[in-house]
Structure 1
Amino acid sequence: MKNIISVTLILHIVFWAGTILAGFIIYKGIGTSLSFKFIIGYVIYLLLYVMFSIYLVMMKTKKLNWIQFRRRLFMFIAWFISLSAAHYLIEYFFSDSEIVLWDFAIPLGLSLGLAFSDLMTLQKKG
């Protein structure tokens, strides 16, 4: 388990350093071939990082007992309903476009992240 913690720490450090560097490259408009290769590599890294994070969450979710899983599932549903309602109200009052199914992707992702993201880094205590 200690190896996974050190790997996730390294992945987080590389993520934040790459995000800062990519943001700087994009903000300054640096258009060299090296910066383009860095951005492409960073996008590939992000995809692999997301897949590794999903893997960690799935493996640790299998180890949860039913009560812990039910609590997280309830928290996910509560966050999804509240974020979807807030999104719908904002769209209803401040936008003239109609609501489509894809508009619920952001509340879905945020609620999944809020309910299950701590499983990526924390290890079971006791």
Structure 2
Amino acid sequence: MKNKKTFITKILYGLFIIGTIISIFIVYKHIDSSFAFKFIIGYAVFNFLMVLYLVITTISNLKMIKKKELRKRFITFITVFIIFGALNYGFDYIFRPEKIDLFREFSISFGLSVGISFIRLTSLKENEGEN
């Protein structure tokens, strides 16, 4: 089952890359047709469903890893979140002190931290969780 899940994940990543390239081409060439509009709408729905799939897969793979590995990932998450949050706030304080938005700054930091800490869990192999 894990090999099938990894295969599906790789196909989704491939479709995402191809869809992104086509969408960028459509937007930058200002192609205005009904097919282009439907493609962009379909691409947006695909992205939403892909993110949902990756979140569910990551959560289900969290059960497979050991407590020590999970703790290390959470420590990495917290460390990276604090560093990125501080850097983002610092740069905004220096370059745009009149437009500091803490929600924007820390939401970006949160997303980057989750991505860096847990991205490998989407394609976890059967024997990786037993290390």
TM-score, normalised to structure 1's length? Answer: 0.95
Whether the 8 Å CA contact 2:81–2:109 is kept in 1: the answer is yes
How many aligned residue pairs are there? 126
Q: How does 1:56-71 map to 2 (within 5 A)?
A: 56-71=57-72
1:63 CA displacement: 1.6
Change (3 A) 1:52 1:60: same
Same amino acid, percent of matched pairs: 33
Identify the residue that residue 37 of structure 2 maps to in structure 1.
36
Residues 54 and 122 of structure 2 are in contact (CA less than 8 Å); yes or no, is this contact kept in structure 1? yes
Aligned to 2:114: 112
The farther-off stretch of 100-109 and 73-82 is 100-109
Greater relative contact order (Cα 8 A, min sep 6): structure 1 or 2?
2
- Secondary structure of 1:29's counterpart equals coil
Residue 9 of structure 1 and its aligned partner are, at CA, apart by 1.2
Q: 1:86 corresponds to which letter in structure 2?
A: L
Name the aligned partner's letter for residue 110 of structure 1: L
Letter in 1 for 2:15: V
Structure 1: tracts of 5 or more residues without a match: none
User: Which SS does the other structure have where 2:99 is aligned?
Assistant: coil
Per-residue CA shift, 1:3-26, capped at 9, x if unaligned?
111111111110000000001000
After the TM superposition, which segments of 4 or more aligned residues of structure 1 sit over 6 Å from their partners?
none
Which string of whole-angstrom CA distances, capped at 9 and with x for unpartnered residues, describes residues 82-123 of structure 1?
A: 000110011000002133323311110000000001111231
| Partner of residue 72, structure 1 | 73
**TM-score when normalising by structure 2:** 0.92
